A and B are shown apart, each in its own frame.
Chain A
Amino acid sequence: AQSVTQPDIHITVSEGASLELRCNYSYGATPYLFWYVQSPGQGLQLLLKYFSGDTLVQGIKGFEAEFKRSQSSFNLRKPSVHWSDAAEYFCAVEDTGGFKTIFGAGTRLFVKA
């Protein structure tokens, strides 16, 4: 079965600093990959998704992610973090058959002034 690993439970960055959240997946073929953000007390919101083509994907709120097949990774990046980016971030992968999405355990981002 497909799986997603987010190695970092939580990360703290200073406001204005760059951010990279790690995600590794297991999948036999080229997967559909997603990043979602969950702000406190709110549901998940899709940041970006990768299906095929250009391996660098642009998303909302200034986020981007890069698909690296050789490393089975799909890391999320942002060049300059804002205090409002403090939230939990989930990486997800399509399950075999293409109907179900498998979520990682999440990485909680703290932003310090």
Chain B
Amino acid sequence: EAGVAQSPRYKIIEKRQSVAFWCNPISGHATLYWYQQILGQGPKLLIQFQNNGVVDDSQLPKDRFSAERLKGVDSTLKIQPAKLEDSAVYLCASSLGDRSYNEQFFGPGTRLTVL
């Protein structure tokens, strides 16, 4: 069974530029998550989708971050414009259902460096 795919694996940009990350979840998984993991911290949920609807985006900085999950399958996360403090690993995960007792399967992440 293929895992969660993410691209790119690494990205270096300058502040005020824009960047986009892509995630393809495990086939059949209805729930998709985007996490931000700053160095030395645990993952922080940015947004959670159930199919193509948003379950939780309370910690998404909506003035600069946006995410979509068209057709309820793959998803993109965009930052525009990027700030230095956005440097982090962005993790995508998926699960069968939206309750926390469903195991989340994580992709390898995208490491973003903002200069």
Contact = CB atoms under 8 A, between A and B. Distances in A.
Interface of A: 4, 9, 32, 41-46, 49, 51, 90, 92, 94-95, 98-101, 103-106
The 10 A-B residue pairs whose C-beta atoms are closest, nearest first, are A43-B106, A103-B42, A94-B100, A44-B106, A103-B43, A43-B107, A43-B108, A101-B100, A105-B42, A46-B103
Nearest to B41: A105
Given A43-B91, A99-B99, A100-B100, A106 B41 contact: yes
B56 A44 contact: no
A94 B101 contact: yes
Contact of B101 (A4, A9, A32): A32
B43 to A, nearest CB: 5
A99 B98 contact: yes
Identify whether the interface residues of B are mostly helix, strand, loop, or mixed. loop
Interface in B83-101: 91, 93, 98-101
Contacts of A51: 101
B110 to A, nearest CB: 11
B104 interface: yes
A47 to B, nearest CB: 11
